Structure 1
Amino acid sequence: MDKLPVEYEQYLEGKDEFHIDTIMPVFRESMAERKFGVHIRGLGGHSEQAFVDEAVPFGKVKITVV
């Protein structure tokens, strides 16, 4: 797999293994298409939802706390 964009790597820093395993499929989907970035929303930890978002540029992470 190609190297992750800097913002993806920065987002993953300090996260536990479970959290990384949960988010990585979405990062991989974004990497495969190379069109859109990732939107992560929720309260953090196990209450987060991540998805590839057409409104976010590739390689960027948008975080929304709800």
Structure 2
Amino acid sequence: MPLGAYSEFALKNWRFVGFGFVMTGASSFGQTFFVGIFELSVQQAFGLDHTTWGSIYMIGTLASALILP
């Protein structure tokens, strides 16, 4: 589909596109946002480097995805 068709679709359905952007922004206050705020404190408290912390976060994310229906 050419780019013009996407633009036309977005303009015709601007309410849905706007709703999608708002909901995406509103959902940012979830796990990633929370972890980002406290990342440095947790790393310092447990003596973790960025690689170890990233690995723990990845394992937690994958584990939570496995329990989804």
Same fold (TM over 0.5): no
Higher strand share: 1
- Taking structure 1 as the reference length, the TM-score comes to 0.32
Higher relative contact order (CA 8 A, sep 6+): 1
Q: Which has the higher helix share?
A: 2
